Amino acid sequence: MAGTLTKADLVDKIYEKSDRKRSEVKAQVEHLLLLIKKAIKKDHALLVSGFGKFETYEKKPRKGRNPQTSESITLPGRKVVVFRLSRKLRAEINQQ
């Protein structure tokens, strides 16, 4: 498969392997994604064994520059989400 795997592709692949209605599969995928979003928004780490870990952390305010006027500005702090692959998945990817 080339390109990006979309949410619709996930639903299709799960639907093909299950005996459920497509609408049920779509609702379950949506619910899973909602749980992931809620965990990340609450600043929790989300660990999926054998896959990886989603984490959030705060970035401090920093100095920046407006490229049009060269004016110095302060960029506000923000939350950043990072994903770290599990060692097992990283090893599988690097075997190829």
Q: What is the pLDDT of residues 19-55, one digit of tens each?
A: 999 999 999 999 999 999 998 888 778 999 999 999 9
Query: Residue 3: what pLDDT?
Result: 87
80/48 Cα distance (integer angstroms): 19
Identify the H or E element spanning 3: none
1 pLDDT above the threshold of 70: no
* Angle at CA of residue 9, ends 22 and 55, nearest 5°: 110
Distance set, CA 95 to CA 49, 86, 89 (Å): 19, 14, 10
Tell me, what amino acid is at 87?
A: R
Q: For the chain, what are the domain ranges? A: 1-42, 45-96
Are the C-beta atoms of 49 and 88 separated by less than 8 Å? no
CATH superfamily, region 45-96:
IHF-like DNA-binding proteins (4.10.520.10)
